[in-house]
Amino acid sequence: MKAAILGATGYGGMGVMKLLANHPSVETILPVSSSRPGEHLTAAYPGLAPALLEKTHDGVLLGVEEARAEDPDVVFAALPHLKSAEVCAPFFDSSVVIDLSADFRIPDVALFESAYGSKPPREDLLSRSAYGLTEWFRDEVRRADIIANPGCYPTAALLPLLPLLRDGLVTGPISITAMSGISGAGRKASVNLLFTERSENVNAYAPGTTHRHWAEISHYARRYLAGGSDAGGTHGAGANAGGGSPTTGATGLEAPTAGAGGVADQILFTPHLVPIKRGIAATTSCEATAPNPSSASPHVPSLRHGTCAGRTVATSASTSRAACFFCSALSITWRRAPPARPCRT
């Protein structure tokens, strides 16, 4: 398999290449950079592993047209929001495109516009795309030729939350508190990302419903409420690799009035920037009913429950360490009870 990586010199693109370097089905890696074509990869990242360089064209960064001429089987786009779909245009009819930006993540045009200040750049292609949360959309991902890689915060928040929503266990407001490493903001120069600004310093930003990723979280939470009929399939006509950049996360979003979305309309999400290089830790808390073992979701093999002040309270937590957009570990437990067997989906 031949894989092209657009935006290869950013943190997201480099993370993808490191994973592909050891992938047995990937024989050739085509690193692409519009800003640095012709340069050697080691100029951007000194000390790269030989296994990665051996799969590239002598380690030289290619331009977009050069990559298109190579006719790659799959294209990973680690590019900024609202620009990624435009750069990917030459590949849509010939390659599988996995987009790490937000350009194809939210099929609701109005919701996308409220989060990103513009309509989806390729609204005409939303029906061909699938949301890449493979634990829940695996069959759709297999059939799609455009895959929207989920945002970093939504991945960490949705994986523990969706099983509870699918089984109808959530009965009250949902609070998500998440912490992100600095690489989530992307590879760029910014005063608030300097070592002296971030070291020994933690801050919340874009709280409540004002962060762009709130729109993505709430959209997919609604789809899985008690196994809603909209839970499967591709988007249908109506996804910057870092997604939830601490420097641009705030939006003009307003929380919808509680109604058809029920508890999904009561989600509050507060991200924090913490002084680590990468990774996400997210804690999701909500009021919930005790699970019925006979009807538990296959995504939740074992759960314990407890009561607090006359109500059942569920707490879910997920941690990501592989990269800012990959969730690698997940546990679901119930407050005031010993930890249940971890969910390994």
Active site residues: 152
Cβ count near 91 (within 10 Å): 22
Tokens matching residue 73: 């089987």
**Residue in the block written with tokens 């399939």:** 233
CA distance 16 to 105: 19
Residues 6+ apart with CB under 8 A from 123: 109, 238
Q: Kindly state the DSSP code that residue 323 receives in the 8-state scheme.
A: B
Strand order in the sheet with 28-32: 28-32, 2-6, 74-77, 96-99, 146-148, 129-131
b/e string for 291-318 if b means 16 or more Cβ within 10 A? beeeebbebbeebbbeeeeeebbbbbbb
Helix 212-223 and helix 152-166, axial crossing angle in degrees, nearest 10: 20
Q: Kindly state the DSSP code that residue 225 receives in the 8-state scheme.
A: G
